Amino acid sequence: MLRCHARRVMTVAELALEPRTLILEELQRCMDAVAETELLEAQRAILHAPRIFTAGAGRSGLALKMVAMRLMHLGLTVHVAGEVTTPAISAGDLLILASGSGTTSSVVHAAQVAKHAGAKLLVFTTAPESPLGLLADFRIIIPAAAKQEHDGVLSRQYAGALFEQSVLLLADVLFHQMWREHGESAASLWTRHANLE
Phi, psi of 154 (to 5 degrees): -85, -25
53-77 in b/e form (b: 16+ CB < 10 A) is: bbbbbbbbbebbeebbbbbbbbebe
Q: How far is CA 86 from the centre of its chain?
A: 20
Residue 110 near residue 81, CB atoms below 8 Å: yes
Among 25, 26, 164, 184, which one carries the catalytic annotation? 164
- Report the C-alpha gap between 94 and 166 in whole angstroms: 20
- Report the C-alpha gap between 186 and 197 in whole angstroms: 20
Helix, strand or coil for residue 126? coil
Catalytic (active site) residue 164: yes
Q: Could you tell me which residues are beta bridge partners of residue 94?
A: 52, 120
Query: What are the distances in angstroms from CA 84 to CA 64, 80, 81, 96?
Result: 17, 9, 9, 18
Catalytically active residues, by annotation:
164
